[in-house]
Structure 1
Amino acid sequence: MTRGIGWYVHHQGAGHLQRARAVAAALPRPCTLIGTLAAFDTSGLDVLDLPDDRPLGGSEFDGRDGEAERPEALHYAPLNHPGVRARMARIAEWVGRTDPALIVVDVSVEIALLARLLSVPTLVVRLAGTRTDRPHCEAFRSATRLLAPFPEALDGAGVPDWVRAKTHYAGFLGAPAQAAAEASDAIVVVFGRGGAGGDVADLAAAARAVPDRPWHVLGPVSGSGQIPKNLHLHGWVDDVEARIARAALLVGGGGDGLVALAAGQGKRFLCLPEARAYGEQTEKAEALHRLGAAIAHPGWPTAEAWPGLVRAGLALDPSVIAGLHRPSAIPDCAAMIEGLVRQLGRA
């Protein structure tokens, strides 16, 4: 009987699930997605759903557990939390029952270390940003291999050599490239699930500052105010890729999913990195800017800044960001995982 693998999916944003789904479909062996996934569409997938581990009382989750002390190898280990206790027990039971060949961890220091304690090899996903703190380094040390879901050209300068040597740079594991579409003159702004979303007043000011172009906004937007005629708020849509394909300029954060779409479609890209732990989006945006693959601007621009930013974005050579896209990234990543499993002698 072919041993399966597990793939732990973090519940912040949709990008973790998106790449897990894509790579799992290309694997030649069973794959169980593990995580707090009730809020996501997991139809057709084998899922081990876990209780929520976010702070009790409904407070906003910022990755901190509020404990005065915790082991230095951990990021999040709240005491007396029934959800944390139940999810760890459920993972341990699943491991004992299914004997997985490997667990991919995207992302959690605690799950990576739990898998090691359960004697299961791990492939730990390493996101962008400065992750040289002790918990991250211990998770990296515990892993059999590391997986970076971005091109090596976007890696940070401060990454230790031993971490680089252990890393497989998979490239973008997002949506596949779209067939070329006739671009319009539109600016398309995208907000994802993992951030704060857009603000009506800010978007209206931007559209008024560049009145000769239609603005189409995809994703969550809050607030109120008068909306100019060239601003169109669409909310959640099912055809994000098709709408981006027609954009003259793509505007959005530095999350893996949107950057992957920009590269896959060769879109001129104005990257507005959102605040994330360890500078994840900021460092990625800065790398894109250095390469000439995007224009980067920290935070939402003022109304006065928009005309210049739009001109700079439209002047970009789209072949630069397109060159970061590798069409075979997903099947290549699946082949690497299969090769790793066979190398471990657990096929």
Structure 2
Amino acid sequence: MTGWYVHHHGAGHLTRFRAVRPHLAGEVVVFSSLPEPSSLPPQTSWVHLGRDDDRPAGAPDPADSDPTAGGLLHWAPLGHAGHARRLAVITDAIATRRFDRFVIDVSVEVALLVRLLGVATVVVTQPGDRSDDPHRLAYASATRVLAPWPGGAHRSQGFVEVGGISRFDGRVRDAEPDPGTVLVLGGGIVEGDLTERVARAAAASPGTRWQVAGGPTWIDDPWLALQRAEVVVAAAGQNSIADLAAAGARAVVVPQPRPFDEQAATGRILLDRSLAVVEPAWPADDAWPAVLDRARSLQPDWSLWGVAGAARRAADVIAEVGA
């Protein structure tokens, strides 16, 4: 049996689980504060966890309650009932059922709790500077640290690099790019009104047709849209980049501010390997024609991102732990 902690920030951690799960044999119990999906794979159950960052009426802000324990942890606020309950649920599950391994994507505190309870852990790492004490402790306690990026892309520190994990790994490309089509992938790529920003960029780029897949215009399966886009505009999140690689897209990547310099680090690698046009921020309206021309001229070798077989390789790494 495998336990799997899915962090509730964004959709990326759940998307990665969905990509790897079909390749992992046996029963899997997922723990997350996210709502249970409408459908789960066979032999998969979902345990809902309360939030550890909410602020009940009259309660102190958890961010003011020494959440880092003086820098030893990332988030363990004093006196927060939700934080206590969510860890108690995980503890009770481990005390009453035998877990052979536990995947943590991502939480230093859950990784340490599970290991203290005597279960081998597979900790999923992320790009950026993770040399702080809490990350180092979580990695040192893990049986394996799984890195969802290609070999040599980031500082590995002995991590198991499996390649970029995409939900589209193995999909057949059955459409060609439609000239002039621009797809904006992800709703959090700019602050403010994305619809207005895209409209202005489209107006400044004659002959283009823009589509947004994210935010209020969410598309559950953007595979066809990815194939038909002449240029894709995306943030530098791990899932987005892996999906670009799976589709062989010509892309403009706009890294977003994230803790530990996560997306900026990925942007530097993409630029170094000539895989995408990388812009430090959403370009000005009148800059878009030149930015799109640069993206159209790319000949990216996305095989460098190692997407083919990455989900299966990740499953194999997980299955080896505690076997």
Normalised to the residue count of structure 1, the TM-score between the two structures is 0.85
Aligned to 2:243: 261
Which one has more relative contact order, counting CA pairs under 8 Å at least 6 apart?
2
Contact 1:191 1:197 survives alignment (8 Å): no
Task: Give, in whole Å, the separation in 2 of the partners of 1:50 and 1:270.
Answer: 37
Q: Secondary structure at the match of 2:145?
A: strand
Deviations 1:220-279 (A, max 9, x none): 25xxxxxxxxxxxxx012331111111111101011111111000110011011111111
| Matched ranges for 1:32-181 at <5 A | 32-38=29-35, 40-44=37-41, 45-57=44-56, 65-68=63-66, 70-155=69-154, 159=155, 164-165=157-158, 167-177=159-169, 178-180=171-173, 181=175
Q: 1:28 to 1:300 in 2, by over 3 A?
A: same
The 1:273–1:175 alpha-carbon spacing in structure 2 relative to 1, beyond 3 Å, is same
| Cα deviation, residue 22, structure 1 | 2.2
Tell me: CA distance 1:282–1:92, structure 2 relative to 1, closer, same or farther (3 Å): same
Cα 1:57–1:211 shift into 2, 3 Å: farther
Equivalent-residue separation in structure 2 for 1:298 and 1:136 (angstroms): 26
Separation of aligned partners in 1, 2:33 and 2:306: 30
Runs of 5+ consecutive residues of structure 1 not aligned to the other structure: 59-63, 222-234, 343-347
Find the counterpart in structure 2 of residue 324 from structure 1: 305
Match of 1:202 in 2: 197
Alpha-carbon spacing, 1:37–1:193, altered in 2? closer, same or farther (3 Å):
farther
Worse-matched range after superposition: 297-306 or 87-96: 297-306
* Structure 1 stretch displaced more, 204-213 or 6-15: 204-213
Distance 1:196 1:144 in 2: 39
Instruction: Give the equivalent residue in structure 2 for 1:213.
Output: 208
SS in 2 for 1:74: coil
Q: Structure 1 residues 42 and 130 mapped into 2: Cα distance closer, same or farther (>3 Å)?
A: farther
User: Secondary structure in 2 aligned to 1:275?
Assistant: coil
Q: Distance in 2 between matches of 1:295 and 1:135?
A: 34
Overall identity of the aligned pairs, in %: 32
In 2, Cα distance between equivalents of 1:198 and 1:244: 23
Cα deviations by residue, 1:27-46 (Å, 9 ceiling, x for unpaired): 12211111112164453431
The answer to whether the 8 A contact 1:109-1:135 is kept is yes
- Checking the alignment, whether the CA contact within 8 Å between 1:51 and 1:83 is kept in structure 2 is yes
Paired with 1:168 and 1:149, the residues of 2 have a C-alpha distance of 8
Residue among 174, 177, 184 paired with 1:183: 177
Letter of the 2:64 partner, please give it.
G
In structure 1, the residue matched to 2:316 is 335
Task: Name the SS for the 1:77 alignment partner.
Answer: coil
In 2, distance between residues paired with 1:35 and 1:195?
27
Aligned residue type for 1:204: A
Distance 2:98 2:192 in 1: 41
Contact persistence 2:250–2:296 (CA under 8 A): yes
Shift of 1:206: 0.8
Cα displacement (A) at 1:134: 0.9
For the residue of structure 2 that corresponds to 1:65, the secondary structure is helix
Cα distance change of structure 1 residues 109 and 171 upon mapping to structure 2, 3 Å threshold: same
Partner of 1:282: 264
> Do 2:189 and 2:234's aligned partners in 1 also have CA atoms closer than 8 Å?
no
For the 8 Å contact 1:267–1:322, the answer to whether it is kept is no
Q: Deviations over 1:180-217 (max 9, x none)?
A: 21110201111157986852332122111112111111
Report the equivalent of 1:227: none
Question: Residue 91 and residue 195 in structure 1: after superposition, are their counterparts in 2 closer, same or farther (change >3 A)?
Answer: farther
Amino acid at match of 2:277: I
Q: Is the 8 A contact 2:166 2:307 kept in 1?
A: no
Structure 2: runs of 5+ lacking an equivalent: none
What letter corresponds to residue 54 of structure 1 in structure 2? D
CA deviation string 1:41-70 (max 9, x = no partner): 453431111111123159xxxxx8223472
Q: Does 1:300 align with 2:253?
A: no
> SS at the partner of 1:37?
coil
Question: What is the DSSP-based 3-state SS (H/G/I as helix, E as strand, rest coil) of the residue aligned with 2:211?
Answer: strand
1:26 is aligned, of 23, 27, 30, to: 23
